[in-house]
Amino acid sequence: METRKVQVTGGSTYTVSLPKSWATNNDVEAGSVVEFYPEDDSLLLMPQEDEERTEGQLDVTDLEKTELMRSVVTMYVSGFDIITLTSARITAAQRRAIRKATQRLVGLEVIGETSEKVSLQDLLDSSELSVTNAVTRMRLVSLSMLSDAVTALVDNDDDLATDVIERDDDVDRLWYMVSRVFRSVLRNPNAATEVGLPRETCFDYHSSARQLERVADHATKIAELALQLDEIPDDAATRILDLRSEASSAVEIAMEALLEEDAAAATELGNEARQQVLEIDSLAREVDDVIRDLDPQPAQLLGLIVDSLSRSADYGGNIAETALQNAAPKP
């Protein structure tokens, strides 16, 4: 750490010198322009950057299907605006995987293709993206998936179960977008200005979005198990519906706490959500007692469903913990 003494020039202008080593490493010299970003009682400084889109290139010769899709998603989340995928010859199967990956990512489009490369570009401006809206949308979709997955189980509705599974892609799209914005905010203070949120708030939203994405994953798991089950006994169905209701409520209240601007109200909601999670544990044990008397195969599958509902409630507890930390007095 280096320190500098603030001086006054011209009677009203505060000045401070920059460490020479930092200036040299960042190509700052006489006449260079630097940018300042106020953040509470801190002031961030960085060299002014040219407004150029970041480009990344990847050789996909040995990549197929899932691995190729994962690579495209990783480059998108990492913040590349233009992604060029190259190979001596890009196969038809690779092109299908690339297009499937772009369909799962907000703003990413194919802008050029040849036999040897495919070029992708993010066509959305960061200032056009609302992290708050994305997280709110994730909340609505993931909880509706959880509700419909259990309904599909109880009503033995395979069509509804299949629909829940398909909706998981909608949550993933939003999750990848939030992750991309969060990483850009970490790298560049200007991104936080464009997004319109403090970096600490972006962290809280990113953390909570991850919990909602996991809720959606468990809703998908429940829907997949529902497809393997026939009708279940009324007693078990009633208990599972009650457990679903309590788990969804815990996540809902936790999200209200996270989005609540009044610290006292957020604290009250956060504590309410945490208490509800604790009570769900005993309710889950009651459901386990009911399904234990069923035939081994349905009992095992229903046990997995109970576990997914309990875990979903736990994710709500994690969101509540984030909300409580956000509402706590700042040092």
HEC secondary structure over the chain:
CCCCCCEEECCCEEECCCCHHHHHHCCCCCCCCEEEEEECCEEEEEECCCCCCCEEEEECCCCCHHHHHHHHHHHHHHCCCEEEEECCCCCHHHHHHHHHHHHCCCCEEEEEECCCEEEEEECCCHHHCCHHHHHHHHHHHHHHHHHHHHHHHHHCCHHHHHHHHHHHHHHHHHHHHHHHHHHHHHHCHHHHHHHCCCHHHHHHHHHHHHHHHHHHHHHHHHHHHHCCCCCCCHHHHHHHHHHHHHHHHHHHHHHHHHHCCCHHHHHHHHHHHHHHHHHHHHHHHHHHHHHCCCCHHHHHHHHHHHHHHHHHHHHHHHHHHHHHHHHCCCC
CATH code assigned at 95: 3.30.110.20
Same domain, 307 and 192: yes
Residue span of the structural domain in which 42 resides? 7-47
Is pLDDT larger for residue 192 or for residue 255? Answer: 255
210 in the same domain as 131? yes
Of 112 and 199, which is predicted with more confidence? 112
Mean pLDDT for all residues in the chain: 89
Mean pLDDT (whole number) for 220-247: 95
* Residue 41 banded pLDDT, cuts 50, 70, 90: low
Q: What percent of the chain has pLDDT above 70?
A: 89
Same domain, 144 and 289: yes
**220 found inside a domain:** yes
Q: How does pLDDT run across 44-85, given as a tens digit for each residue?
A: 666 766 556 688 999 999 999 999 999 999 999 998 999 999
Residue that finishes a domain, picked among 122, 144, 179: 122
- Do 249 and 309 lie in a common domain? yes
Question: What residue type is 19 in one-letter code?
Answer: P
Non-local CB neighbours of 252 within 8 Å, separated by 6+ positions: 139, 143, 316
Query: Does 140 lie in the same domain as 90?
Result: no
Q: Does residue 186 register a pLDDT over 80?
A: yes
**pLDDT confidence bin for 19, thresholds 50/70/90:** confident
In the chain, pLDDT over 90 holds for what percent of residues? 66
**Average pLDDT value for residue range 291-295:** 87
121-126 mean pLDDT: 78
- pLDDT the model gives residue 199: 84
Q: Is residue 316 part of a domain?
A: yes
Together in a domain, 64 and 180: no
Question: Do 150 and 264 lie in a common domain?
Answer: yes
Q: Are residues 132 and 265 in the same domain?
A: yes
Do 154 and 248 belong together in one domain?
yes
Q: What is the CATH number of the domain that holds 153?
A: 1.20.58.220
The domain total for the chain is 3
Q: 178 falls in which pLDDT band (50, 70, 90)?
A: very high
pLDDT tens per residue across span 134-163: 999 999 999 999 999 999 999 999 999 999
Within a domain: 2: no
Residue where a domain stops, chosen among 70, 94, 122: 122
Q: Of 92, 122, 152, which closes a domain?
A: 122
Both 154 and 254 in one domain: the answer is yes
108 and 243 together in one domain = no
The reported pLDDT for the residue numbered 102 is 94
Specify whether the CB–CB gap between 193 and 37 falls below 8 A.
yes
